[in-house]
Structure 1
Amino acid sequence: MANLPLSLVVITYNEAHTIARCLDSVPFAAEKIVVDSGSTDDTVAIAIAHGARVVHQDWLGFGPQRNFATGQASHDWLLALDADEFLSPELAAELSQALPGIMASDAPAAWLRRRTIYMGRPMRWYRPAVGEKMARLWHRDRARWTDARVHESLRFEGSAPTLRAPFDHVNNPSLAEKQLKVLRYAELKCRDWLDKNKPVRMWQTPFVFALAFIKDYIFRLAFLDGWRGYAIAQTAASYAVYKRMRYYEMRNNPLSRDTAATALHRHGLDR
């Protein structure tokens, strides 16, 4: 595939086991940038060996880190992937054909569809894991990432085309790693709530698990994916409850903010 004036940007921390696959899945990108927040494994060396320019940036939060990465790019059009994501061959072929037209247009961004690999194989029915639309391709002057510490999104005005073929996301190789991510994401989300002085509504918590589980397991069709569907719905519902309990603790016991930060840092979960 011919190189296109596109910058692939990936933010990393200890992603030695996935970064090569991610970078190699975008052979048409004229530039590949890895913004690393201090990896202690071979992430940086592997990224360089696979054609990336590596820039160090201490962890700012997901949204600010992505905006920092945007500023490192040489091209106006950018594609963002996480290290545990990669383009399918079908999407790589589709993008190589569609990108010249998208880049020549006034579109601010483009929607891609993400397919989730969970417990070793793709989910077949669970709606957020089958063709989930995500804005990951954008023009640097027409779109910007929100500054949220976690669950950031790309904001833009106007219509954007949607690509048909999916890119793939390996949603944690194991449940143990998923639970560690839940702790990390909950801490970041609660910090955002603290900044906004969000009210504590613990009275909602007994209902949150049931409602979140029913939404994912029934209405989002997780039950059709068997026990894997049950596991993903249960994990999502537990996360919804845990972050509310953790926020309540942060507000009522401010000392817990520092002790938790120390514990998360000790296990490399603070970025």
Structure 2
Amino acid sequence: MRILISRPDKIGDVTLALHGAKQLKRRLPSVEVFVHVSEYTLSLVSNVKFVDGCVLVTEDLTPYNFDAVVDLMAKNRTARLYIKPRIRIRIGNSARWFSFLYNRTRFIRRSYALMNEAEYNWQLISLLDPSLKNTRLTETLDVHDFKEIVEYTEYKNYYVLMPGATVSAIGWDLKNWIDLAERLADDTDAQVLFLTGPAEKEIAAELRQKTVHKSNIQLRSFDDPKELIGFLKNAKAYVGPSTGITHLASALGLKGVALYPELRSMHPTRWMPFNSSLTVYSLDKNPSALDVYNALHGRYDPRFLPIRRASISAFVVCCNEEKNMVRCLESLKWCDEIVIVDSGSTDRTVEICRQYTDRIFYRKWNGHSEQKQFALDQCRGDWILNIDADEEVSTELKSQILRVLGLPKRRREAIKGYEVCRVVYFLGRWWDHGGWYPEYRMRFFQRRCVRWGGVNPHEKALIDGKTRRLKGAIYHYTYSGIPHQVECLNRHSSNSAKYLYLAGKRTRFANIILNPAFRFFKFYILKRGFREGRAGFVVGCIEACYTFLKYVKLWEIQGRVRTGEVADVSNL
């Protein structure tokens, strides 16, 4: 399959598209990935290993015989280019008025700036193949992805300052750049190198004039991207605004500061480098040269971060979950705190958790509700996110949670908790038509407004106050197959029967007959499990069997207690 990813734009936009192109190539290695580029970015993109070819925006696409195109540019003039070559699959954003030119679409309001541009791009790229559905963007362009790098050998110890002056870059006052350069030049033996290009001609002339008295402050420019990458990758640190060079610096792993405005059209939530190695400071909060200098020396000031929000803790209870933990914890890295409560893992679960947090606790298992209440008590954030080890937070849910955390305090605290939809992956498919879908669970809430309740194993968070539902989903990678499902439901039915008895519940023979039948009817008919085909029927039957086992086992417990065979049900 030959795929064209379209982003004939500037360096920053193209870099944000390359993250998704890399993940596409990793997930589907047999596909050929081409990139539709402008002449300005051709030499950069053609130097990327996972790109099989580049096509200039002025070229005729017909000879290439592309099977699919993903239009990330979302402009009418580019969308029209893909009709004449008769490209079979044309993917684009249905929020645009010309979306009728595409035959696969997703509705995306990028202007809301709820997630990174690279993540928006991946939402479209993932429409290429069913195996990419409900996957998060995790790959990042890095230094190893370039075919050729020309090493910079003039200096070994140097800072790079990029006073960009492009359309998308809101300028930091020139006196701040000069002040920062002089501070760095005065207290280190490093060179301070201003990186300038054609757009910075006037700035370059003024910088040269006002720093002539400092021999270790100099200007450099590069026409060859291979030389530019070599220059950037060995720098001690980097400072720059919202430009393509800043995106490249982050991709190369540089530490430093990126200066962004908080205008919605240029907001760092959307336009900052993906998985940024740079710390973003808000130009709206007027950081001085001293503030940026301190940040370069590890003294970051949270006052200058672009979004000040409430804190969030995520907690996971687990035991022997090494197959799931990386996926789960990777989706939680953005949280301020991750709390793990382990009940005695004998595999690599705890070892994996240590790579993400030092807040790891051991507690002997005595029930889902009790375990989660203990985990909740260890959390220190204002808000709590509860995720199971076999679950993953979607990109959309993460963006919605961060939006809530960034609301003004009065609006934020008016809602005490949010239910989140859980989407199940089972039998090689996403169950997003019926049966298990939609399934809302209370998973995101204010710490001071919740306690754990419910009947084990079906515990739940009990919220004191007003609640709502939140967009986005939790991906639930449930049973590995039907044998695993039957094994788990057998165990859960035993626990449910025990806790129902301890809660004072009793069963009659009518429950054993009628409740399983209603469970099947609810799953298969009322919740439209029939839309999942034969798999829906099979799972509906297994769900009915679970209900049957639960009430049969409760009936058995009642009999054993009545005859005196069991004195303490809690020990079963």
Equivalent residue in structure 2 for 1:29, among 335, 344, 360: 335
Q: CA deviation at 1:51?
A: 2.9
Equivalent pair of 1:117/1:168 in contact (CA under 8 Å): yes
Which of 36, 60, 64 in structure 1 is aligned with 2:370?
Answer: 64
Give the match for residue 110 of structure 1. 418
Residue 203 of structure 1 and its aligned partner are, at CA, apart by: 2.9
User: Given the alignment, which residue of 78, 81, 84 partners 2:384?
Assistant: 78
Give the letter aligned to residue 112 of structure 1: V
Match of 1:231 among 535, 538, 544: 538
Amino acid corresponding to residue 86 of structure 1 in structure 2: E
CA–CA distance in structure 1, aligned partners of residues 560 and 526 of structure 2: 37
Would you say 1:164 and 2:455 are equivalent positions?
Answer: no
Flag the structure with larger Rg.
Answer: 2
| 1:33-82 alpha-carbon deviations (Å, 9 max, x no partner) | 11000111111001111335210000121111111001111223110000
Encode CA deviations 1:88-126: one digit per residue, 9 max, x unaligned.
122222222232228642322112111111112201321
> How far apart, in 2, do the equivalents of 1:240 and 1:73 lie?
35
TM-score, length-normalised on structure 2?
0.43
Structure 2 SS opposite 1:167: strand
Tell me if 1:91 matches 2:397. Answer: yes
Larger mean CA deviation between 58-67 and 3-12 belongs to 3-12
What does 1:181-200 correspond to in 2, within 5 Å? 181-200=488-507
Under a length normalisation based on structure 1, what TM-score does the superposition of the two structures give?
A: 0.88
Letter of the 1:5 counterpart:
S
Separation in structure 2 between the aligned mates of residue 35 and residue 201 of structure 1, nearest angstrom: 38
**Comparing 61-70 and 202-211, the one that deviates more:** 202-211
Q: In structure 2, what is the Cα distance between the partners aligned to 1:233 and 1:57?
A: 35
SS of 2:346's equivalent in the other structure is coil
Partner of 2:461: 154
**Structure 2 counterpart of 1:126:** 434
Q: What is the alpha-carbon distance in structure 1 between the residues aligned to residue 440 and residue 408 of structure 2?
A: 17
Correspondence for 2:480: 173
2:555 aligns with: 248
* Cα pair distance change 1:40/1:140, threshold 3 Å: same
Mean CA deviation greater in 100-109 or 188-197: 100-109
Deviation at 1:257, TM superposition (A): 9.4
Q: Read off the aligned partner of 2:426 and give its amino acid letter.
A: Y
- Unaligned 5+ segments in structure 1 are 263-271
**1:217: how far off?**
0.9
Closer/same/farther in 2, CA of residues 203 and 147 from structure 1, 3 Å limit: closer
SS of structure 1 residue aligned to 2:418: strand
Q: Which runs of 5+ in 2 are unaligned?
A: 1-274, 276-306
Distance 1:175 1:148 in 2: 25
CA distance in 2, matches of 1:40, 1:203: 43
Shift in Å, 1:149? 2.2
Which has the bigger relative contact order, CA under 8 A and spacing at least 6? 1
SS of residue matched to 2:323: coil
Instruction: Indicate conservation of the 8 Å contact 1:64/1:148, yes or no.
Output: no
**Deviation digits for residues 142-191 of structure 1, max 9, x if unmatched?**
11110532111111233223211111001211112111211221122112
CA distance 1:203–1:18, change in 2 (3 Å): same
SS in 2 for 1:78: strand
Structure 2 match to 1:138: 445
Whole-angstrom CA distance in 2 between matches of 1:238 and 1:42: 34
In structure 2, how many angstroms separate the alpha carbons of the residues matched to 1:195 and 1:102? 44
Q: 1:170 is matched by which residue type in structure 2?
A: Y
Q: State whether residues 310 and 383 of structure 2, in contact with CA within 8 Å, keep that contact through their aligned partners in structure 1.
A: no
Higher mean C-alpha deviation, range 97-106 or range 140-149: 97-106
Equivalent residue of 1:29, what SS? Answer: coil
Name the aligned partner's letter for residue 416 of structure 2: P
**1:26/1:114 Cα in 2 relative to 1: closer, same or farther (>3 Å)?**
same
The equivalent residue for 1:50 is 356
Does the 8 Å contact 2:479/2:485 carry over to 1? Answer: yes
Question: Sequence identity of aligned pairs in percent?
Answer: 25
Q: Give the aligned CA root-mean-square deviation in angstroms.
A: 2.4
- Please give the alpha-carbon distance, in whole angstroms, between the structure 2 residues aligned to 1:234 and 1:102: 48
**Distance change in 2, residues 1:196/1:130 (3 Å):** closer
Distance 2:408 2:515 in 1: 41
Residue pair 1:20, 1:50 contacting (<8 A) in 2 also: no
CA distance in structure 1 between the aligned counterparts of 2:415 and 2:330, rounded to whole angstroms: 26
Change (3 A) 1:8 1:169: same
- In structure 2, distance between residues paired with 1:16 and 1:108: 33
Query: How many residue pairs align between the two structures?
Result: 261
Shift of 1:205: 1.5
CA distance in 1, matches of 2:310, 2:318: 23
| 1:207 CA displacement | 2.4
Greater Cα shift, 235-244 or 189-198: 189-198
Once residues 566 and 524 of structure 2 are traced to their aligned partners in structure 1, the CA distance between those partners, rounded to angstroms, is 33
Residue 323 of structure 2 is aligned to residue 17 of structure 1: yes
The one-letter code sitting in structure 2 at the alignment partner of 1:106 is: A
